[in-house]
């Protein structure tokens, strides 16, 4: 094979995320581990897709015969805590716009894993900026729009990409999910009433299913199995019948899956807090433009925030957003991450690297801005044991830059996922 043919073949492997597993040495003039201070003249040793060692190059014996990659700055692979990449695609056409189903107000049974396309060019595009993990799925716009999944930005199939499914169930309180023409929900009060009603049904459904399972385990035969009862169970009565909607909400109530509620106005944030207090589920706030007004309440309730993109449009219910919200949440002690969100037009996503950079220009310290798209995002997703920092035993996901990654004129020059070089060259 000629060198030009080999280069073309290797380039194809990088584009499709099929680069062969590698043992690597990654050197950086500065290595931000996000597990401690930055390391000058640092090195990361990668073996079998995991991080085997991290430290100063002078303190670590490098393995022989292993490929060495060098960059000015090395960070953990970036984590986008909320977006729709791969569910909404690059071209803004009907065939690649699966981010929102509008036929029903409440549909927690909608699985993102059934809509995600790992081969969409938008996945490759964000990967080129050092983004290695995305929490993607159904967009805001329905009262309960469905589920999200967490994926690595590589692989040819969903099974190769996904690392957590379902990751969240997503809901919206506020103008984003209001209906018109006499359809429900038409007001904020109706939104919350519908959510409460569905959560109560889910609780009753779970209790009846548990009771039915206990009877079955004890060998007690069910004496009545009428047609009417069967119909009632299919609506959420429990027993042997399954109801995918209530089943998913039961998992929310059991704490297996968090409920992420998209809210912007302070009054809607407070409604979300009341729901959480009543039902005790794991709550994550999404967007939260006016979260700085209730930051003390969020801190007291230990509610994390997946904050709107810093450069999001200050219109409508988000008219009071601030470039300084990230800095204010940090000062208040609220755990937050910065997201890419959902864009209705091409390229259908923002880039969290740029959103964090602008937050850093508006009161957020460099380390905190980088944390908002690495380790803090991983913590909110419940995946900090695998991703978000450069530590021994974690997934070997790295982003390489030719200068300060939060500086607009810098470039991502390489991306590594699970020890595989999946992107090279300036982006």
Write the pLDDT tens digit of every residue in 305-325. Answer: 999 999 999 999 999 999 999
**Which of 202, 217, 242 corresponds to the end of one domain?**
242
- At residue 9, the pLDDT reads 39
Is residue 70 in a domain?
A: yes
Cα dihedral sign, 227-229-235-241: negative
- Can the peptide bond before residue 185 be classed as cis, meaning omega within 30 degrees of 0? yes
- At residue 21, the pLDDT reads 53
DSSP secondary structure string, 63-132? PTT-EEEEEEEEEEPEEEEEE-BTTB-TT-SGGGB-S---S-SB-TT--GGGT--TT-HHHHHHHTTTEE
**Which of 220, 242, 264 corresponds to the end of one domain?**
242
CATH number of the domain to which 143 belongs: 3.20.20.140
Is residue 222 in a domain?
A: yes
Alpha carbon distance 163, 134 (integer Å): 10
Same domain assignment for residues 297 and 157: yes
Same domain assignment for residues 285 and 162: yes
pTM summary value: 0.90
Is residue 110 in a domain?
A: yes
- At residue 93, the pLDDT reads 85
Cα dihedral sign, 343-348-352-356: negative
Extract the tokens encoding 334.
């609220």
**Which of 173, 207, 242 corresponds to the end of one domain?**
242
Q: Does residue 132 contact residue 387 with C-beta atoms inside 8 Å?
A: yes
Same domain assignment for residues 289 and 325: yes
Same domain assignment for residues 224 and 368: no
Q: How far is CA 25 from CA 34, 70, 159, 398, 420, in A?
A: 19, 8, 28, 11, 12
Same domain assignment for residues 112 and 221: no
Q: Which of 121, 201, 199, 112 is nearest to 158 (CA)?
A: 112
Alpha carbon distance 295, 290 (integer Å): 9
- At residue 94, the pLDDT reads 82
- At residue 20, the pLDDT reads 52
Q: How far is CA 129 from CA 126, 145, 252, 306, in A?
A: 5, 29, 33, 20
CATH number of the domain to which 13 belongs: 2.30.40.10
Q: Does residue 336 contact residue 366 with C-beta atoms inside 8 Å?
A: no
If DSSP codes are grouped into helix, strand and coil, which group holds residue 275?
helix
Query: In terms of residue numbers, what domain contains 354?
Result: 78-190+251-387
Is residue 347 in a domain?
A: yes
Is residue 402 in a domain?
A: no
Same domain assignment for residues 353 and 378: yes
What strands lie across the sheet with 259-263, from one edge to the other?
78-83, 131-137, 144-152, 162-172, 259-263, 283-287, 305-307, 336-338
Give the number of domains in the chain.
Answer: 3
Same domain assignment for residues 141 and 256: yes
Residues 6+ away with beta carbon under 8 Å from 6: none
Alpha carbon distance 79, 133 (integer Å): 5
Alpha carbon distance 130, 411 (integer Å): 10
Count CB atoms within 10 A of the CB of residue 409: 7
Q: In angstroms, how far is CA 84 from the centroid of its own chain?
A: 9
- At residue 425, the pLDDT reads 85
Is residue 408 in a domain?
A: no
Alpha carbon distance 200, 361 (integer Å): 45
Same domain assignment for residues 34 and 173: no
Alpha carbon distance 250, 339 (integer Å): 27
Is residue 186 in a domain?
A: yes
Same domain assignment for residues 260 and 352: yes
Same domain assignment for residues 295 and 163: yes
- At residue 238, the pLDDT reads 53
Same domain assignment for residues 185 and 308: yes
Q: Pseudo-torsion of CA 350, 353, 354, 358, nearest 10°?
A: 130
Is residue 404 in a domain?
A: no
Count CB atoms within 10 A of the CB of residue 119: 15
Alpha carbon distance 144, 171 (integer Å): 4
- At residue 90, the pLDDT reads 85
Angle made by CA atoms 15, 19, 20, in degrees to the nearest 5: 170
Alpha carbon distance 337, 331 (integer Å): 14
- At residue 240, the pLDDT reads 65
Same domain assignment for residues 185 and 317: yes
Question: Tens digit of pLDDT per residue, the chain (427 long)?
Answer: 443 443 343 343 344 434 455 799 999 999 999 999 999 999 999 999 999 999 999 999 999 999 999 999 999 999 999 999 999 988 878 888 889 998 999 999 999 999 999 999 999 999 999 999 999 999 999 999 999 999 999 999 999 999 999 999 999 999 999 999 999 999 999 999 999 999 999 999 999 999 988 888 887 555 555 455 545 544 555 556 899 999 999 999 999 999 999 999 999 999 999 999 999 999 999 999 999 999 999 999 999 999 999 999 999 999 999 999 999 999 999 999 999 998 877 788 999 999 999 999 999 999 999 999 999 999 999 999 999 999 999 999 999 999 999 999 999 999 999 999 999 988 7
User: Containing H/E element for 273?
Assistant: helix 266-279
According to DSSP, the β-strands at 412-417 and 24-31 are: unpaired
């Amino acid at each position: 094979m000629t060198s030009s043919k080999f280069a073309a073949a290797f380039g194809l492997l990088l584009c499709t995320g099929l680069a062969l597993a590698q043992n690597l040495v990654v050197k950086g003039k500065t290595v931000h581990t996000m597990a401690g201070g930055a390391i000058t003249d640092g090195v990361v040793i990668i073996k079998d897709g995991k991080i085997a060692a991290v430290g100063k190059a002078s303190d670590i014996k490098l393995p022989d015969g292993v490929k060495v990659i060098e960059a000015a700055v090395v960070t953990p692979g970036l984590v986008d805590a909320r977006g729709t990449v791969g569910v909404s695609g690059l071209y803004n056409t009907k065939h690649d716009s699966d981010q929102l189903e509008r036929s029903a107000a409440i549909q927690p049974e909608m699985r993102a894993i059934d809509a995600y396309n790992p081969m969409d060019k938008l996945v490759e595009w964000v990967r080129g900026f050092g983004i290695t993990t995305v929490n993607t799925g159904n967009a805001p716009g329905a009262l309960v729009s469905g589920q999200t999944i967490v994926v690595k930005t590589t692989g040819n199939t969903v099974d190769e990409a996904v690392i957590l499914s379902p990751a969240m169930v997503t809901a919206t309180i506020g103008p984003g999910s209001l209906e018109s023409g006499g359809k429900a929900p038409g007001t904020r009060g109706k939104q919350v009433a519908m959510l409460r009603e569905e959560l109560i049904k889910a609780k009753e459904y779970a209790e009846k299913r548990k009771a039915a399972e206990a009877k079955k385990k004890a060998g007690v035969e069910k004496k009545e199995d009428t047609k009417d009862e069967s119909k009632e169970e299919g609506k959420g009565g429990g027993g042997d019948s399954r109801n995918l909607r209530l089943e998913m909400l039961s998992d929310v109530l059991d704490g297996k899956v968090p409920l992420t509620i998209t809210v912007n106005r302070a009054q809607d944030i407070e409604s979300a807090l009341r729901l959480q207090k009543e039902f005790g589920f794991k709550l994550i706030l999404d967007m939260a433009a006016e979260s700085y007004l209730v930051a003390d309440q969020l801190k007291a309730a230990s509610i994390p925030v997946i904050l709107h993109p810093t450069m999001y449009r200050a219109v409508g219910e988000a008219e009071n957003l601030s470039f300084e919200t990230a800095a204010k949440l940090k000062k208040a002690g609220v755990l937050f991450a910065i997201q890419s969100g959902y864009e209705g037009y091409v390229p259908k996503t923002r880039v969290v690297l740029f959103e964090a950079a602008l937050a850093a220009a508006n009161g957020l310290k460099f380390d905190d801005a980088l944390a908002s798209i690495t380790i803090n995002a991983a913590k909110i997703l419940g995946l900090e044991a695998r991703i978000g920092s450069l530590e021994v035993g974690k997934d070997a996901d790295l982003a390489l830059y030719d200068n300060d990654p939060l500086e607009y004129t810098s470039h991502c020059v390489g991306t590594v996922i699970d020890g595989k070089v999946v992107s090279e060259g300036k982006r």
